[in-house]
């Protein structure tokens, strides 16, 4: 049985979906990953997994580029003739479902990793795109009988309300899983507690509230370091402007690390992980923090609640509330004993619920259920 995975970027496939593709091969499937492979990058080789290059435009409002991608994807699917295609991310849900319908792919699984800009950005341009996309996708879902895979109950409820998913064709998994051998507990480092933010530097990630909370705590004389790992995303309308970042770098207490590739090492040098995001699917950094035995302070949203157990593995705070964020961080900065207990609890949760083999098993069981209908 042949499965196609439609994924925007080759790097994302390697970091988030390679273990799923390999697990599917072990379960007896042939897998083709359709993705954008950057110039100069050689796609890896794994038995049973093929890579098909497709230029996939990022962002919204590029109809000509989107049409070209649709035509190319349709040709690829007609050639591959997979039994099932899994479309990963909101934009590729529309593109992949439409191409699969045209190419006659019999089974479609739309994997929502978070609802993102299309459903949360307030600009008039995004609202216009959303007004056009939602009715089209709803019709495609009805016509194709597409299934939907969600990472939290909040996203699932919203898509059901919009009729972009059917109640009898939904499944729920907690993210993409984490390698609990690669991410493992280490003792806290010596010195001042380190509070770490990891994510793209977008307004919706709560980076502004993180900077405000760090500034308030530093003014109170709190002995701690505040680090931010990640870069802006110029193609995202919610990216923090360069002028704002320059001001934060000059005057704020946050140390800016840029993009960091060795996440296990970075987490091991930290004491507390902070993610005050406005909306998420299931944040991968929270899974990695749990596997690394680190407590977290996160926004009280569905995607974070699916990982964080309040007062057991971390603390949840209201969205856009820098004062509450600062108070929660202060509590953990001052309580190494509480950090230790929460970190141990988080590690147990990661092994029992979030380990990649567990998540992959659920998804492959869904594949089997779909191909048998």
pLDDT tens digit at each of 373 positions of the chain:
899 999 989 988 998 999 999 999 999 999 999 999 988 888 778 989 999 999 887 665 577 888 899 999 999 999 999 999 999 988 789 899 999 999 999 999 999 887 766 665 666 766 777 677 788 888 888 889 999 999 999 889 988 998 888 999 999 998 899 999 999 999 999 999 999 999 999 999 999 999 999 999 999 999 999 999 999 988 787 889 999 999 999 888 999 999 999 999 999 999 999 999 998 889 999 999 999 999 999 999 999 999 999 999 999 999 999 999 999 999 999 999 999 999 999 999 999 999 999 999 999 999 999 988 8
* H/E segment holding residue 19: helix 18-26
Is residue 126 within 8 A of residue 237, CB to CB? The reply is yes
Identify any residues that bridge with 172 across adjacent strands, giving them in sequence order.
150
If one counts every other C-beta atom within 10 angstroms of the C-beta of residue 55, the result is 10
Taking the C-alpha atoms of residue 214 and residue 221, their distance in angstroms, rounded to an integer, is 11
- Per the listing, tokens 């407590």 go with 295
pLDDT on residue 172? 93
Whether the full predicted model's pTM is greater than 0.85, yes or no, is yes
- Longest Cα separation, the chain: 64
Taking the C-alpha atoms of residue 96 and residue 85, their distance in angstroms, rounded to an integer, is 8
Counted residue by residue, the chain has a size of 373
What are the DSSP E strand ranges found in 190-283? 194-198, 225-229, 254-258, 272-275
pLDDT on residue 60? 57
Taking the C-alpha atoms of residue 290 and residue 353, their distance in angstroms, rounded to an integer, is 11
Is residue 183 within 8 A of residue 267, CB to CB? The reply is yes
pLDDT on residue 308? 96
Is residue 330 within 8 A of residue 313, CB to CB? The reply is no
Taking the C-alpha atoms of residue 20 and residue 176, their distance in angstroms, rounded to an integer, is 8
Question: Domains of the chain (ranges plus CATH)?
Answer: 2-177+355-371 (3.40.50.2000), 194-354 (3.40.50.2000)
What Rg value do the Cα atoms of the chain yield, rounded?
Answer: 21
Compute the 3-state secondary structure of the chain and give helix, strand, coil in percent, each to the nearest 5.
50, 20, 35
With a CB cutoff of 8 Å and minimum separation 6, the contacts of 281 are 112, 113, 114, 115, 150, 151, 152, 155, 175, 303
With a CB cutoff of 8 Å and minimum separation 6, the contacts of 183 are 263, 264, 267, 288, 291, 292, 350
What the block records as the tokens of 108 is 């479609």
If one counts every other C-beta atom within 10 angstroms of the C-beta of residue 212, the result is 18
pLDDT on residue 134? 82
Burial of residue 48 (number of CB atoms within 10 Å: 0-12, 13-18, 19+):
middle
């Amino acid at each position: 049985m042949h499965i196609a995975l439609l994924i925007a970027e080759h790097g994302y496939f390697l970091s988030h979906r390679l273990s799923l593709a390999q697990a599917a091969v072990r379960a007896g499937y042939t897998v083709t990953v359709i993705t954008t492979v950057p110039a100069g990058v050689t796609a890896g080789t794994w038995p049973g997994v093929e890579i098909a290059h497709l230029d996939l435009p990022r962002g919204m409002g590029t109809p000509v580029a989107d049409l070209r991608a649709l035509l190319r994807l349709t040709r690829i699917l007609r050639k591959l003739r997979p039994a099932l295609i899994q479309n990963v991310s909101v934009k590729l849900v529309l593109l992949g479902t439409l191409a699969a319908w045209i190419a006659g792919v019999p089974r479609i699984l739309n994997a929502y990793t978070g609802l993102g800009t299309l459903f949360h950005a307030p600009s008039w341009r995004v609202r216009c795109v959303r007004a056009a996309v939602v009715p089209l996708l709803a019709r495609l879902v009805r016509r194709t009988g597409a299934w939907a895979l969600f990472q939290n109950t909040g996203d699932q409820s919203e898509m059901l309300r919009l009729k972009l998913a059917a109640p009898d064709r939904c499944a729920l998994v907690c993210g993409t899983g984490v390698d609990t051998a690669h991410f493992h507990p280490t003792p806290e480092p010596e010195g001042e507690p380190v509070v770490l933010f990891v994510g793209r530097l977008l307004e919706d990630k709560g980076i502004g509230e993180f900077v405000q909370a760090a500034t308030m705590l530093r003014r109170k004389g709190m002995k701690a370091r505040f680090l931010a790992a990640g870069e802006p995303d110029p193609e995202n309308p919610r990216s923090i402007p360069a002028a704002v970042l320059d001001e934060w770098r000059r005057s704020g207490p946050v140390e800016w690390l840029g993009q960091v590739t060795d996440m296990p090492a970075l987490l091991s040098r930290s004491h507390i992980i902070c993610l005050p995001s406005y909306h998420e699917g299931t944040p991968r950094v929270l899974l990695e923090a749990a596997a690394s035995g680190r407590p977290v302070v996160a926004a009280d949203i569905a995607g974070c609640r699916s990982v964080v157990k309040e007062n057991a593995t971390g603390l949840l705070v209201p969205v856009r509330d820098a004062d509450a964020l600062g108070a929660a961080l202060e509590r953990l900065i001052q309580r190494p004993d509480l950090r230790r207990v929460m970190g141990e609890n988080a590690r147990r949760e990661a092994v029992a619920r979030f380990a990649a083999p567990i998540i992959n098993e659920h998804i492959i069981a869904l594949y089997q259920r779909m191909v048998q209908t």
